[in-house]
Structure 1
Amino acid sequence: MQSVPVIKDLVLLGGGHSHIAVLKSFGMRPIPGVRLTLISRDIETAYSGMLPGLIAGHYSFDRAHIDLVPLARFAGARFFHDEVTGIDPVARTVALLNRPPVSYDVLSVNTGSTPSIHEVDGAGDHAVPVKPINRFLGHWENLRQRIDEYDAGARIGVVGGGTGGVELCLAVHHALTTQPNPPEGFSLELLTADGEILQEHPRSVARRFRRILYERGIEVHVDTRVTRVTPNTLVDAAGREFRFHEILWVTQAGAPPWLAGSGIEVDERGFMLVNDHLQSQSHANVFGAGDVVAMATTPRPKAGVFAVRQGRPLTKNLRRYLLKKPLTRYRPQRRFLKLVSSGDRYAVASRGPWSAEGRWVWRWKDWIDSRFMEKYQVLPEMAPMDKGPEIPAPLQDPAIIDAADDDMRCGGCGAKVSADVLAAALAEIDSAPRDDVVVGLEAPDDAAMIAVPADRLSVLSVDGFRPMIDDPWLFGRITANHCLGDVYAMGAEPQVAMTMATLPVWPEDKLVDELRQMLLGALHVFDQEGVALVGGHTGEGAELTLGFTVTGLIEPDRALRKSALRAGDLLVLTKPLGTGTLLAADMRGRVHGRWLKAAIESMLLSCRTAGTVFRAHEAHACTDITGFGLAGHLLEMLGETTLGALIELDALPVLPGALETVEAGILSTLQPKNERFAAQVDASAEDRDRGEYGLLFDPQTAGGLLAGVPRDTVQSCVTELKARGYPETVVIGEIEDAGDWRRRIRLRTAS
């Protein structure tokens, strides 16, 4: 719950090494009134220092990555999973690939660099760039699977003779030569435009790695500037051709293309120019760190060590700027320790002209990297504050503070959100047109007017809740999808929706943005489903809530009623279970980002097609699985009949991570109330100890449809559901005559 008004928005672009330090710091010591938002293309950010070890097989994926979802939760930050496409410093907004722009008061950029692959003709089509790292990892796994297909032995070319290219080349060699059934006859070649490898290191380091590469049988081509790439071929400036089965690209990185067109000052290569405060040269409220920036007065090479070390001064200056204090100078070091791995738990160290090598160097590097990662992978439990936090004086807006603390704020119509806020929020709202909407938002009146055909019945439903995630646009989408579920469960066509929103007492611009984001998210769903948003109501309250009433149409004799099950019906479920426990784990910072991503994708999956398929296959009864969980809604379907349900516990579809969180005791706050349905579940002691049993009572948000389908149509029904977008669809049990059963639900397991 948001008890402190949002006064300023600090938006972090990218989950780079500097920004993870910002997040950790704000989690330990937040600034009341400042809301953090992290926008990242990746859910898990790879630590560049461990990438060679990950490729070589020394580290697991999780050990070499920082999960941004629990880190953002620890920091109290919203996490938006999307890709930046532009910045408008005048409007103070960030444009994103898949959603509406996001507003900021203070912006920090740490997105990293992009591969310079498009600077060479054909490289973008025929070479695999090492950055973005997470995309490269997918290519790497595919390469390993393909490599045995080359009859004469795979030839792999690595373009780039800097640290990244040398480390990657040696890591690939180690991985392929030490894996079970290593490929026969493969070769690796390293190509660089420079006169020697590792130009950024002392000559002694280059000599050491020349020896190591020679010992591994890796051929090095210096003074080889690649100017063109064709399928399986590199062409250099001298016209020489080098043929390979696979080409990996690790050349000097470039700036993201959207930065140059943003209006923020950049250098000749397109990197954002920052001063000694890590502050934009052209816009005082924009900061940056890592590979995406160029220091105007103290230029330094693109290296992960600088991004790591910039984390602390960046955090300090973001805090000081927000609190209107003088900024501090960042002085990058001239000499720093460099540790370069050689693939096989062996490494070379250097600082200035000094260098050394050995397995002890690799252990030293591993200790440094592991200690760094532990700071962001093992987060402390924060003790609750004794009293409500006070907003610092530089951020205080007396009108907002007084309004938020006013125990005598009016109720009734005095609690409505102002007309100015509504007008601004609705300015971008353009609902899908429908011929049966007589009066709607295009010409608003005291009430909407909807035409109902004479041969149809109206189907009405209402639902809503407070946010289950911190992203207002996604929250709007999930809420809209959830509210449509009841209509689809009855086999109806949704027609129109009206919104009911409660907004906290925030500055007007923050309210406008929050309401607009939620409504645009909902409209994203309603437009796809052919539903018109025709009106609604907004009022003040202690916390944010959003809900919708949905009206639909149905032919009188075609409604799917939940209470029409018949003995012999097979129970078909279209979505996996587990959103309740996973959302609870997210609130506690105990969920993996990829688990939450899968849960969100499930909650965004519309039930529209499923309802149509069930009707086409003559389902007798249907309902959507939501707050009461599978057991509660199944008992509603059984109602006052003499029927019972035999459920195959092993057949229940489960979201990734849901069993782990349930078995860890992380449950929704509604789960204990849902467990009262256990009185009607016949289960053995062994079954009650299983995580799947707990998921019977897990409250679902935007859950799947559960239908009773005749035995003679169930196979074709399940096949069609899987083909039309519900891959987790499964038969979970059957309906039987239960006249002599003591309980209405029986569990059956394979054992």
Structure 2
Amino acid sequence: MPTGSSENLIIGFDSNEDAAVYRITDETALVQTADYITPMTDDPYLFGQLAAANALSDIYAMGAKPITAINLCNFPGEGIPNEIFSEILNGGASKVLESGAVTVGGHTIKDDELKYGLSVSGIVHPDKVVRNSSIEIGDSLILSKPVGTGVLFNGVKKGALESKWLDRAVQRNVVLNKKASELMLKYDANACTDLTGFGLLGHLNEMVSSNDLSMEINALSVPYFEKAIETSEQGYKPGMSKDTMRSLEKSVSFDSTVSEAYQWLLVDPQTSGGLIISIPEERTDDLLKELKSDDSPEAAIIGKVTEPGHTAIMVVSK
């Protein structure tokens, strides 16, 4: 697909980064992204909040500040009261306001399946863009939110799990990654990405794939939502997890001690998941302490960047 070129394009279509970055001046670059999702909850306001938080996360992962948002709405033409649509938009608007950005418009089309999200623009200094690929040997890897919304959603959908467990996870994930991003910048992290649809290992693979480096991940150090492990043990893995696992066959190795339940949770798709932060070891404890005392109490060191090994990512259980 022809994409065009520009000397001002810092990050474009040909990379695995979380958003595009375009230089406006020597001091300012525009960061652009778009994302939208289907409902994970029956609460329309909460769904709107989740969709907005999810779309804003790409901006935060790049170390940028969101400034404007445009609603993207795929709404059924009949069968759903207009009040539901209003609640979705109000939920989204609440998170945009919380981020400090402004909602400047939107576009709606008719669709049999309800979907909602946003196109978000942000700003960052061109020399201070945080990429997902700039990891360094010895870096600690920190995850700021728990994992497991995909299996919880599937468990609820199949009638095997009470919805309250999913609701609790959604309530956690509507928390913006704003504070985590600010702290990541404060402690001068080397790299960052946000955890969404490709699961933890999928996004870690994006971080390591353009480097001649490896990672070691401890499955037992990863934070998981309550009931996520039990639900995974019962086999309620989303279809997207299977696709991700298949795509990682040549990149990821699991130690024999890592159970299947944990393996599947590590590729579990997330919606508005946490930030994965790669930071030099000497600054790790200070960052982790502030994350935990702020709005990321579950934040944890989940692994490290290592010298090149026989596989890009080695998952252990210890």
TM over 0.5: yes
Distance 1:454-1:569 versus aligned 2 partners, 3 A rule: closer
CA distance in 2, matches of 1:616, 1:557: 15
Match of 1:580 in 2: 150
Larger relative contact order (CA 8 Å, sep ≥ 6): 2
- Aligned mate of 2:36, from 448, 464, 479: 464
Gaps of 5+ in 2: 1-23
Q: How far is the alpha carbon of 1:684 from its aligned partner?
A: 2.8
Kindly indicate whether residue 248 of structure 2 is the aligned counterpart of residue 680 of structure 1. no
Cα separation, partners in 2 of 1:743 and 1:454, compared to 1, 3 Å: closer
- Provide the residue aligned with 1:501 in structure 2: 73
| SS of corresponding position for 1:731 | strand
The match for 2:215 is 645
Letter in 2 for 1:709: I
Does residue 177 of structure 2 align to residue 592 of structure 1?
Answer: no
Q: Choose 1 or 2 for highest CA Rg.
A: 1
> What are the superposed Cα offsets for residues 350-384 of structure 1, whole Å, 9 maximum, x if unpaired?
xxxxxxxxxxxxxxxxxxxxxxxxxxxxxxxxxxx
Q: Which residue of 1 aligns with 2:62?
A: 490
Kindly indicate whether the alpha-carbon contact (under 8 Å) linking 2:209 and 2:312 is maintained by their aligned counterparts in 1. no
**3-state SS of the aligned residue for 1:686?**
coil
Give the match for residue 310 of structure 2: 742
Give per-residue Cα distances to partners, 1:132-189, cap 9 Å, x unaligned: xxxxxxxxxxxxxxxxxxxxxxxxxxxxxxxxxxxxxxxxxxxxxxxxxxxxxxxxxx
Are 2:205 and 1:632 aligned?
Answer: no
1:713-749 CA-to-partner distances (Å, cap 9, x unmatched) read 10000000011110101101100111xx221111222
Q: Which amino acid aligns with 1:715?
A: D
- In the aligned structure 2, how far is the partner of 1:685 from the partner of 1:572? 24
Deviation at 1:470, TM superposition (A): 2.0
Partners of 1:575 and 1:548 lie apart in 2 by 22
Please report how far the alpha carbon of residue 454 of structure 1 lies from its aligned counterpart in structure 2 after TM superposition.
6.3
Amino acid at match of 2:167: K
CA distance in 1, matches of 2:37, 2:179: 25
Separation of aligned partners in 2, 1:543 and 1:731: 38
Gaps of 5+ in 1: 1-451
Equivalent position of 1:614 in the other structure: 184
2:120 matched to which residue of 1? 550
Confirm or deny: 8 A CA contact 2:48 2:91 kept in the other structure. yes
Q: Does 1:561 align with 2:144?
A: no
Query: Is the CA contact (8 Å cut-off) linking 2:64 and 2:124 kept in structure 1?
Result: yes
Q: Does 1:476 align with 2:48?
A: yes
Match of residue 172, structure 2, among 573, 594, 602? 602
Paired amino acid for 2:253: D
Task: Supply the distance in 2 between the matched residues of 1:459 and 1:511 (Cα, whole angstroms).
Answer: 35
Query: What's the TM-score, normalizing by structure 1?
Result: 0.38
Q: Distance in 2 between matches of 1:488 and 1:601?
A: 19
Residue matched to 1:521? 91
Aligned counterpart, 1:718: 288
Query: In the alignment, what sits opposite 1:659?
Result: 229
- Check 1:678–1:592 CA distance in 2 against 1; reply closer, same or farther (3 A cut): farther
| Aligned residue type for 2:255 | S
Q: 2: distance between equivalents of 1:587 and 1:538?
A: 27
* Aligned counterparts of 2:158 and 2:43: Cα–Cα separation in 1: 17
How far does residue 504 in structure 1 lie from its aligned partner after superposition? 1.1
Equivalent residue letter for 1:506: E
Work out the CA distance in 1 between the residues paired with 2:133 and 2:34: 20
| Counterparts of 1:736 and 1:600, CA distance in 2 | 33
Q: TM-score, normalised by structure 2?
A: 0.89
Which residue identity does 1:546 align to in structure 2? Y
Deviation at 1:511, TM superposition (A): 4.4
Q: Residue 127 of structure 2 aligns to which amino acid in structure 1?
A: D
Task: Give the total of aligned pairs.
Answer: 294
The within-5 A match list for 1:155-304 is: none
Q: Secondary structure at the match of 2:315?
A: strand
Q: Deviation at 1:633?
A: 0.4
Classify the secondary structure of the residue corresponding to 1:679. Answer: coil
- From 273, 292, 298, give the equivalent of 1:703: 273
CA distance in 1, matches of 2:236, 2:279: 34
| In structure 1, distance between residues paired with 2:194 and 2:165 | 22
1:682 Cα offset (Å): 1.6
**Aligned with 1:727: secondary structure?**
coil
Identical pairs, percent: 33
Structure 1 residues 734, 455: CA separation in 2 closer, same or farther (over 3 Å shift)?
A: same
Q: What are the Cα deviations for residues 412-465 of structure 1, in whole angstroms up to 9, with x where unaligned?
A: xxxxxxxxxxxxxxxxxxxxxxxxxxxxxxxxxxxxxxxx77621000001012
Deviation of the 1:703 alpha carbon: 0.3
3-state DSSP of counterpart to 1:632:
helix
Please tell me whether the aligned partners of residues 147 and 224 of structure 2 are also in contact (alpha carbons under 8 angstroms): yes
**What is the one-letter code of the residue matched to 1:526?**
V
Alpha-carbon contact 2:41-2:167 (below 8 Å) kept: no
Instruction: Give yes or no for contact 2:74–2:111 (8 Å, CA) kept in 1.
Output: yes
Q: Distance in 2 between matches of 1:587 and 1:534?
A: 35
Residue 569 of structure 1: CA displacement? 0.3
Question: Does the 8 Å contact 1:580/1:700 carry over to 2?
Answer: yes
What is the one-letter code of the residue matched to 2:310?
R
Q: Equivalences for 1:92-491 in 2 at 5 Å?
A: 455-491=27-63
Task: Measure the CA separation in 1 of the matches of 2:303 and 2:25.
Answer: 38
The 2-side partners of 1:519 and 1:570 are apart by 38
Residue 712 of structure 1 and its aligned partner are, at CA, apart by: 0.8
SS at match of 2:127: coil
Check conservation: 1:501, 1:547, Cα contact below 8 A: yes
